[in-house]
C-alpha cells in the first residue's frame, strides 16, 4: 500500500465555482473533519510479518493529505478540525512539521484552517509546538472564542480542551450567535454516546438552544448527522479507521452553503485502508474447499466495497457445518488456508486481522447428550463442565481425553496454569463434540 494512496472521490461540481458577479461569496463550501489522531498506529496487524509496516504507520498522514487535497480540489473556503488532531504529545517534532507543511499547502490555495483541540491533544498534554502558518488559527483553551470571516459572513465559535478530562458542558460559555452570519460551533463531545468517554457532556437540546446553524462535532468516531433538528449537528467520524472496531468508510464532511444557509452535507471517504468484520456462514460448505470458496466470495465483496483500498478483515465463521470437525482438529492449518485465499483475491491488499470460529457441529449437542451410550455420557459431562468448569478437574479430564479421542490436542497445561477462560472452554467443547459427532 503506497503511503499516499489516493481515495476515490465522486466528482461533483466545485462548491465555489467562479460566478458572474459578487454573489460568489454567498455560495461556498467548507470541510469539517475530526479525530485525525495524526501519527497514531493502526492496531491489529502487528503480528503479520508480511503486512506493510511502513504504510500502516503512515496511514493517518496519507488520510490527512487526502483531506487537504479534498479542500483544495473543492475550493473550500476553510477547513475545521473538531478535536484530536493529535493522538497525544508528539513523539518528536516530525508530527508538527508534517502539520505545518499541510497547513501551508492550504494557505497557498487561499484556504483557512481552524483547529480545536480535544481530549487527546488538550493543552495540558501537548508540550511541543511550532509556529503555524498565517492561515491557521487554534481555538483557545482558556475560554470560548469566536472567529469572524467577514468575506463569507461566517462566525465560528469554540473552545479547546484545557485538560484531557473536561467534565463540564463547555457550550454554556459559548457566545450567542452573531446576527446576519452563518454561525458554526465547534465542540469535542460524546453527546451522550456510551461508546466514548463522556467529556464536555451536553445534549442535542442544549446545542439547538444555542441558536447556531451548524455544529461541527468531534470525539465520536462513527459518522452521524442528527436528524429532525432546526440546525445541523454532525459528527464526521474519524479520518482513518485505526483498528477493527472502526469499520466502514472513514473521512470528512463537505458542507455546501448557499445564500447563508446550509444546503448540503456530504460524506467524503478519505481513508487509505478499510477495516471490516464480516461473518461467513459455512453451513453450505461440504468440505474445506467449499468453506474456502465461501471465504473467498466474502473477501471479494469487501474488496469491491473498499473501492480499491487495501482491507483488513476480522472474519467470523458461523453456522452448523460439516467443516466444523476439521476446524476443531487443526484450526491453524485452516487459518493459513484462509490467508492464502485472501492473497489470491488481492495480493498486497488483503490482511487478516483475525479469524474466529463460531461454527457448530452438524450434530446437535442436546441430541448427543440424549444417547444412552458412552457418547451421550461424555456429551453430558461436557455440558456440566461448560456450566461450571473447575480448573483442576479440567486439566485431569483433558489428559484422559487426549488418550481416548483421536486427533484431539487439548491444552491441559494451559488449563491448569491459567484456569479455563471462556475462549478456551469454547475451544475444548468444540473439539470434543466434533470428535463425538464422528464417533
pLDDT digits (tens, 9 = 90+) for 242-280: 999 999 999 999 999 999 999 999 999 999 999 999 999
Cβ count near 165 (within 10 Å): 12
Q: Tell me the whole-structure pTM to 2 decimals.
A: 0.81
The pLDDT-based confidence of 14 (bands split at 50, 70, 90) is low
27: its cell numbers? 455560495
Query: Is the predicted pLDDT of residue 77 greater than 80, yes or no?
Result: yes
Mean pLDDT of the 146-171 span? 95
226-242: per-residue pLDDT in tens? Answer: 877 889 999 999 999 99
Query: Is the predicted pLDDT of residue 47 greater than 70, yes or no?
Result: no
Which is nearest to 394 in space by CA: 418, 373, 372, 374? Answer: 418
Determine contact, residues 371/379, Cβ cutoff 8 Å.
Answer: yes
What is d(CA 232, CA 265) in angstroms, rounded to the nearest whole number?
9
Determine contact, residues 253/32, Cβ cutoff 8 Å.
Answer: yes
* Residue with the larger pLDDT of the pair 125 and 6: 125
Fold of 22-269: Purple Acid Phosphatase; chain A, domain 2 (3.60.21)
Helix (H, G, I), strand (E, B) or coil at 272: coil
What is d(CA 249, CA 141) in angstroms, rounded to the nearest whole number?
31
Where are the chain's structural domains? Answer: 22-269, 274-438
The pLDDT-based confidence of 185 (bands split at 50, 70, 90) is very high
36-50, 165-179, 362-376, 389-403: range with lowest mean pLDDT: 389-403
What is d(CA 179, CA 172) in angstroms, rounded to the nearest whole number?
19
Per this entry, what is the length of the chain? 439
Q: Tally DSSP H helices, then E strands, for the chain.
A: 12, 16
Helix (H, G, I), strand (E, B) or coil at 75: coil
The whole-chain average pLDDT of the chain stands at 85
Outline where 179-287 has alpha helix (H): 204-209
What is d(CA 14, CA 252) in angstroms, rounded to the nearest whole number?
16
The pLDDT-based confidence of 114 (bands split at 50, 70, 90) is very high
66-80, 106-120, 239-253, 360-374: range with lowest mean pLDDT: 360-374
User: Which residues in 223-320 belong to E strands, given as ranges?
Assistant: 224-226, 232-235, 251-258, 261-269, 274-276, 279-281, 311-318
What is d(CA 387, CA 389) in angstroms, rounded to the nearest whole number?
6
Question: What pLDDT is stored for residue 227 in this prediction?
Answer: 74
222: its cell numbers? 462513527
Determine contact, residues 188/218, Cβ cutoff 8 Å.
Answer: yes
Element (H, E) at 399: helix 391-404
Cβ count near 175 (within 10 Å): 14
Amino acid at each position: 500500500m503506497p503511503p499516499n494512496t489516493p481515495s476515490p472521490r465522486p466528482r461533483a461540481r466545485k462548491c465555489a465555482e467562479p460566478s458572474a458577479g459578487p454573489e460568489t461569496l454567498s455560495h461556498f463550501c467548507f470541510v469539517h473533519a475530526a479525530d485525525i489522531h495524526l501519527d497514531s498506529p493502526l492496531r491489529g496487524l502487528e503480528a503479520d510479518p508480511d503486512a506493510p509496516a511502513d504504510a500502516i504507520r503512515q496511514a493517518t498522514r496519507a488520510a490527512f493529505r487526502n483531506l487537504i487535497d479534498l479542500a483544495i480540489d473543492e475550493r473550500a473556503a476553510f477547513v475545521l478540525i473538531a478535536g484530536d488532531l493529535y493522538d497525544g504529545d508528539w513523539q518528536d517534532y516530525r508530527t508538527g512539521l508534517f502539520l505545518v507543511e499541510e497547513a501551508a499547502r492550504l494557505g497557498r490555495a487561499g484556504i483557512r484552517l481552524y483547529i480545536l483541540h480535544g481530549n487527546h491533544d488538550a493543552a495540558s498534554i501537548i508540550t511541543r509546538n511550532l509556529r503555524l502558518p498565517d492561515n491557521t488559527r487554534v481555538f483557545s483553551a482558556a475560554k470560548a472564542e469566536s472567529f469572524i470571516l467577514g468575506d463569507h459572513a461566517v462566525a465560528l465559535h469554540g473552545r479547546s480542551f484545557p485538560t484531557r478530562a473536561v467534565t463540564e458542558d463547555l457550550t454554556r460559555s459559548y457566545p450567542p450567535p452573531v446576527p446576519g452570519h452563518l454561525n458554526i460551533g465547534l465542540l469535542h463531545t460524546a453527546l451522550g454516546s456510551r461508546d466514548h468517554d463522556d467529556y464536555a457532556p451536553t445534549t442535542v437540546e442544549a446545542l439547538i438552544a444555542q441558536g447556531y446553524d451548524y455544529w461541527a462535532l468531534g470525539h465520536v468516531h462513527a459518522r452521524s448527522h442528527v436528524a429532525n433538528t432546526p440546525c445541523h449537528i454532525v459528527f464526521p467520524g474519524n479520518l482513518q479507521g485505526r483498528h477493527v472496531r472502526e469499520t466502514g468508510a472513514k473521512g470528512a464532511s463537505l458542507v455546501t452553503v448557499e445564500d447563508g444557509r446550509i444546503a448540503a452535507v456530504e460524506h467524503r471517504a478519505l481513508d487509505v485502508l478499510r477495516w471490516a468484520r464480516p461473518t461467513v456462514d459455512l453451513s453450505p460448505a461440504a468440505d474445506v474447499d467449499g468453506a474456502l470458496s465461501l471465504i473467498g466470495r466474502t473477501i471479494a465483496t469487501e474488496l469491491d466495497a473498499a473501492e480499491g483500498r487495501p482491507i483488513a478483515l476480522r472474519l467470523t465463521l458461523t453456522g452448523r457445518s460439516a467443516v466444523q470437525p476439521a476446524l476443531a482438529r487443526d484450526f491453524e492449518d485452516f487459518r493459513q488456508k484462509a490467508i492464502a485465499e485472501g492473497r489470491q483475491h488481492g495480493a498486497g491488499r488483503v490482511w487478516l486481522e483475525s479469524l474466529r470460529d463460531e461454527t457448530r457441529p452438524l450434530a446437535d449437542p442436546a441430541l448427543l447428550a440424549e444417547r444412552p451410550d458412552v457418547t451421550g455420557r461424555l456429551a453430558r459431562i461436557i455440558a456440566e463442565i461448560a456450566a461450571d468448569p473447575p480448573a483442576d478437574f479440567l486439566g485431569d479430564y483433558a489428559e484422559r481425553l487426549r488418550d481416548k479421542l483421536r486427533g484431539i490436542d487439548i491444552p491441559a497445561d494451559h488449563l491448569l496454569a491459567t484456569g479455563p477462560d471462556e475462549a478456551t472452554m469454547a475451544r475444548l467443547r468444540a473439539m470434543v463434540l466434533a470428535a463425538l459427532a464422528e464417533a
